[in-house]
Amino acid sequence: MKGLRFYGEGSLTLICLFAAIVSVATTLGIIASLLFETLGFFQKVPIQEFLTADKWTPNFDNPQYGIRPLLTGTFMIVIGSAVVALPLGLLIAIYLSEYAHPQVRRIVKPLLELLAGIPSVVFGFFGLIVVTPFLKRIGLPVETFNALSGSIIVGIMILPLVASLSEDAIASVPRGTREAAYGLGASRAEVSITVVLRSAISGIIASFILAISRAVGETLAVTLAAGANPTVAIDFTQAIQTMTAYIVEVSKGDAPRSGVAYQALFSVGLTLFVITLALNILAQRFVKRFQKYS
């Protein structure tokens, strides 16, 4: 738009421009604050130790700062929750889009949105109070805090997201594609699997990646259900610690205001930020590809 005629309109434009700049400044602020403290951290802790040491013990007299235990914890939650949420979410999406009565779909879709709005802390509590006791009852040798319970609860948390986004992808496959297959005599299962899924695959992959990214950044659910025990051992019955849970653990006490422990917080934050950013950019690639083909 052009030709602002009245006095004062120019300043309105400036205000809006300034607001748009705030959003860019946010990104710069995140990157700058994470990088600044992380660089300070690497002056005291060699980057090799950060990447290769297999212990994360900032509170010990002889502290070690190896990110691997925290990465392992996050990775376990991602794998565990993906096993729960991805297949289930995809099947739910196929059901909603290909089999369910439109009326059912109209009810279930908003329901998924409501479920997605339940906060993380709530799911964490449910993991602690429902899932872990259940795992014990069926005879699994789990600790009070354990990675399995954390994975299941994060899986349940991201399930609505997977189902909803995959359903969007599947539903946007053009009607004509389906009709062509039906016209050739294909059954509903054949249409769903060979035609619809194949056309929507990029969109479905994008929904999977976004769900995984969500699991990586998931904080209170894993803090409450999976514990605070950084370890490189992959044992789902034991307590673990994710990157996010570490940040919470340090912050909820009297957060250190300076020193290596404070800077360590940001080095973990930067690792987390880089991983989720890479996942989100990857997901956007798939979304773009999907839009191009459909």
Partner 1 sequence: MTPSPFSSVSAGRKFKDKFVHALCLTAVLVGIAFLVVVIVGGIRDGLPRLSLDFLRNPPNPRRPEQAGVFVAMMGSLWVVGLTLLIAVPVGVAAAIYLEEIARPSRTRDFVQANIANLAGVPSIVYGLLGLAVFVRAMQVGTNLLAAGLTMAVLVLPTVILVTQEALRMVPRSIREASLALGGTPWQTLIRQTLPTSIGTILTGIIFAAARAIGETAPLIVVGAVGFIVKSPSNLTDSYTVLPLQIYSWSSDPKKSFQINASAAIFVLIVVLTAMNLTAIVLRNKLQRR
Which residues inside 121-160 make contact with partner 1, applying CB under 8 A? 121-126, 128-131, 153, 156, 159
> Could you tell me if 75 and 243 are in contact, meaning their C-beta atoms sit under 8 angstroms apart?
no
> Could you tell me if 271 and 67 are in contact, meaning their C-beta atoms sit under 8 angstroms apart?
yes
- Please identify which residue in 54, 168, 190, 235 interacts with partner 1, judged by CB under 8 A: 190
- Cα end-to-end span (Å), the chain: 32
What radius of gyration do the chain's Cα atoms show?
23
Question: Which of 191, 158, 189 shows the shortest CA–CA distance to 88?
Answer: 158
Binders in 264-283 for partner 1, by CB under 8 A? 265-266, 269, 272-273, 276-277, 280-281
Indicate the residue among 3 and 139 with the shorter CB distance to partner 1.
3
- Please identify which residue in 52, 255, 288, 291 interacts with partner 1, judged by CB under 8 A: 255
Closest separation between CB of residue 235 and partner 1, Å?
23
| DSSP string over 26-50 | HHHHHHHHHHHHHHHHHHHS-HHHH
Binders in 14-33 for partner 1, by CB under 8 A? 15-20, 22-24, 26-27, 29-30, 33
Q: Is 4 in the site for partner 1 (CB under 8 A)?
A: yes
Binders in 65-84 for partner 1, by CB under 8 A? none
- Rounded to an integer, what distance in angstroms lies between the CA atom of residue 150 and that of residue 235? 12
- Name the one range near partner 1 by CB under 8 A: 45-53, 65-73, 209-217, 231-239: 209-217
